[in-house]
């Protein structure tokens, strides 16, 4: 069945003549005349050779035809030899052309071939200065003409970037009623949502604020890690605001031609001003808003910095942008230029964090709509299980759980589907690898070493799952998560975390007196934590002094390498402190595992049997509760 909509043909009104007006633009006529003049000689030569008026021959063939008497006359013109043939029956005269061989002249070649000059007329054309100049001009004029043409077009467009519309803004316009996302579709970021609700209210009810002398905010900067909902919030602003919403990514301003970015900024703001009150949204603004003079170009004249300078002028320059609010999003606020983030340009800086347990529940409530779940599914447990998940992670988890349930032919999504989807989002998909019994047992001891050290040290989170099933690049994993969201970390917790990370390596050494490459990621993470304790957190014998490294740039914007802020002697002390913390963590893990060897073997035997241990089974096998700093830890709202 054809469901295409039939478009009726247009019929002009009866009694009215259809008139078509052709307007001649003198400037366009002049441009096309210039192009035709520049390329006419080359065009005539091309057409002549294409239609056979001039036939090019090898020099040997040309000499052979001259000797045979087929040629009426010969004309030597510089490096070309023209052969004039007698007219045919139709009266058309053919012309042949041959090129000169390098290192010799045509006359010498003809004499060596024994051409009888009495039988054929040979004419040598004189090379005048005018012809030499014309030959040079035929090469130079087209190049100069194209340059003049481009300059003319640039001046006509009012800037070097607007040629053929390149400098026009590529912003997407969302008119009122065209955006379906509302604030009700955004959860887990209540503080940020409140800030943007006020921005929308500014545009809807400006009189309420002007009566109190309040000024409309120039800009709102949304910051936070990836997936927390920055772009979704901006789309909700477009859906709620009764004003035009112009959306553009930071990278869309950039182009190879210098001046394009600045031209697009001007065009975007000019368009927004004409439609004011309006909102401009720039996603990933760090692509153009990086601190000037540090990398990428030569001083302050590269394309990115010209684009940034134009944004600075438009937001708070001599030309005021009344009733135009700029909303920008980035997950790299640390690299933005100070002039861009100061009050007067971005008056509000809204930080979006990973959602807490209440926020995760609200996000899950939004994304679970339209999906059938089993009635006994406990959403509180899902929210507790997903500590550290962003809004995008939660949406992806629920979508993967629905795909997994459909794959197994289920009618409803169960808790084990959600658990499997959460592991897939967090660690990676399950992989079947063919391993020997010894490799499986080594993996089991490695993961049991992590779990046991983490369980017996109070500074670590409870172990939720241990598995020797391969996921992603790992042969096994130990999953530990806090009971509630944590916002602070102590020195004791970091030390215990280092010991837990090295528990796998310690178990391998104790049981097999052998080391494997599987601990490389554990060693890297343990070393990173130890170094941050020393240089950033001041948690070492060197004291509370910031001793990190910074990458400095020279005046041309090129990196000069890692320039340490400390002396070589202090750097040596830092390395020794990092080594001491890592060694202490390893020795602590080794001590715990040697003392609890029977418990370690028991966990390994169970893992070899069922491959995956949940928290309840693991704690039952150990026979001891999870070690904590306090027996009764109470959580109070801050």
Task: Tell me which residues are annotated as active site.
Answer: 447
Instruction: Say if residues 508 and 590 touch (Cβ distance below 8 Å).
Output: no
Instruction: Say if residues 262 and 310 touch (Cβ distance below 8 Å).
Output: yes
DSSP 331: S
Three-point CA angle 345, 349, 355, nearest 5°: 155
Which residues, listed in sequence order, are joined to residue 299 by a DSSP beta bridge?
none
Longest dimension (CA), the chain: 124
Instruction: Say if residues 72 and 121 touch (Cβ distance below 8 Å).
Output: yes
Instruction: Say if residues 413 and 456 touch (Cβ distance below 8 Å).
Output: no
Please state, in angstroms and rounded to a whole number, the distance separating the CA atoms of residues 395 and 392: 5
Which tokens sit at 564? Answer: 């340490």
What's the burial of 275, exposed, middle or buried (CB within 10 Å: 0-12/13-18/19+)?
middle
Which tokens sit at 626? Answer: 């999870």
Residues in Cβ contact with 248 at an 8 Å cutoff, skipping those fewer than 6 apart: 169, 170, 171, 172, 268, 280, 281, 282, 283
Please state, in angstroms and rounded to a whole number, the distance separating the CA atoms of residues 328 and 349: 10
- Token pair 């040309």 in the structure block, residue: 62
Alpha helices in 158-189 (DSSP H): none
Which residues, listed in sequence order, are joined to residue 76 by a DSSP beta bridge?
81, 124
Please state, in angstroms and rounded to a whole number, the distance separating the CA atoms of residues 501 and 519: 9
Three-point CA angle 603, 607, 609, nearest 5°: 120
Strands (E), 333-425: 348-351
Cis-peptide, bond into residue 277, ω within 30° of zero? yes
Please state, in angstroms and rounded to a whole number, the distance separating the CA atoms of residues 86 and 55: 14
- Token pair 């509760």 in the structure block, residue: 625
Helix, coil or strand: residue 210: helix
**Contacts for 72-77 with beta carbons within 8 Å, 24 or more apart?**
72/120, 72/121, 73/120, 73/121, 73/122, 73/123, 74/110, 74/120, 74/121, 74/122, 74/123, 75/122, 75/123, 75/124, 75/125, 76/106, 76/107, 76/122, 76/123, 76/124, 76/125, 77/125
Please state, in angstroms and rounded to a whole number, the distance separating the CA atoms of residues 475 and 430: 10
């Amino acid at each position: 069945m054809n469901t295409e909509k039939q478009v009726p043909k247009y019929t002009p009104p009866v009694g009215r003549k259809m008139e078509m007006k052709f307007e001649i633009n003198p400037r366009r006529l002049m441009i096309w005349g210039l192009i035709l003049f520049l390329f006419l000689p080359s065009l005539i030569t091309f057409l002549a050779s294409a239609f056979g008026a001039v036939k090019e021959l090898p020099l040997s063939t040309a000499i052979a035809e001259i000797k045979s008497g087929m040629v009426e006359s010969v004309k030597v013109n510089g490096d070309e030899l023209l052969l004039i043939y007698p007219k045919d029956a139709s009266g058309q005269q053919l012309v042949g052309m041959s090129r000169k061989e390098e290192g010799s002249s045509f006359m010498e070649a003809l004499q060596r071939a024994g051409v009888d000059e009495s039988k054929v007329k040979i004419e040598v054309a004189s090379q005048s200065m005018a012809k030499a100049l014309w030959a040079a001009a035929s090469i130079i004029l087209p190049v100069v003409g194209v340059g003049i043409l481009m300059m003319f077009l640039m001046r006509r467009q009012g800037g070097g970037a607007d040629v053929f519309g390149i400098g026009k803004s590529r912003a997407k316009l969302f008119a009122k009623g065209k955006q379906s996302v509302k604030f009700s579709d955004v959860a887990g970021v209540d503080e940020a949502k409140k800030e943007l609700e006020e921005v929308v209210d500014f545009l809807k009810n400006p009189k309420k604020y002007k009566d109190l002398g309040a000024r409309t905010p120039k800009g709102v900067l949304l910051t936070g890690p990836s997936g927390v909902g920055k772009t979704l919030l901006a789309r909700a602003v477009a859906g709620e605001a009764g004003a035009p919403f112009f959306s553009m990514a930071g990278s869309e301003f950039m182009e190879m031609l210098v001046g394009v970015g600045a031209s697009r900024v001007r065009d975007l703001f000019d368009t927004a001003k004409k439609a004011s009150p309006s909102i401009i949204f720039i996603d990933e603004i760090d692509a153009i808003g990086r601190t000037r003079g540090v990398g990428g170009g030569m001083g302050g004249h590269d394309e990115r910095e010209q684009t940034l300078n134009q944004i600075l002028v438009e937001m708070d320059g001599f030309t005021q942008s009344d009733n135009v609010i700029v909303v920008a999003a980035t997950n790299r606020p640390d690299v933005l230029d100070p002039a861009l983030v100061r009050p007067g340009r971005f008056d509000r800086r809204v930080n979006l964090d990973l959602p807490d347990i209440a926020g995760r529940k609200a996000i899950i409530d939004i994304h679970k709509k339209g999906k059938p779940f089993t009635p006994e599914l406990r959403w509180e447990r899902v929210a507790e299980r997903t500590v550290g998940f962003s809004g995008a992670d939660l949406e992806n988890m629920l979508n993967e759980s629905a795909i997994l349930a459909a794959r197994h032919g289920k009618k409803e999504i169960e808790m084990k589907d959600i658990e499997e989807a959460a592991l897939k989002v967090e660690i990676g998909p399950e992989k079947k690898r063919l391993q020997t019994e010894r490799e499986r047992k080594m993996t089991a001891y490695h993961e049991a070493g992590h779990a046991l050290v983490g369980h017996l040290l109070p500074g670590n989170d409870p172990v939720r799952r241990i598995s020797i099933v391969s996921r992603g690049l790992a042969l096994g994993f130990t999953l530990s998560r806090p009971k509630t969201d944590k916002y602070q970390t102590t020195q004791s917790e970091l030390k215990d975390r280092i010991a837990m990370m090295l528990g796998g390596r310690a178990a391998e050494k104790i049981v097999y007196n052998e080391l494997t490459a599987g601990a490389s990621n554990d060693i890297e993470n343990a070393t990173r934590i130890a170094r941050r304790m020393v240089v950033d957190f001041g948690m070492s014998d060197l004291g509370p002094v910031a001793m990190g490294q910074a990458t400095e740039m020279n005046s041309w914007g090129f990196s000069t390498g890692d320039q340490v802020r400390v002396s070589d002697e202090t750097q040596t002390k830092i390395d020794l402190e990092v080594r001491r913390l890592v060694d202490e963590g390893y020795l602590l893990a080794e001590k715990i595992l040697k003392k609890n060897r029977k418990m370690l073997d028991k966990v390994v035997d169970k893992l070899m049997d069922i491959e995956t241990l949940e928290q309840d089974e693991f704690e039952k096998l150990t026979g001891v509760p999870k070690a904590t700093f306090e027996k009764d830890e109470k959580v109070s709202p801050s």
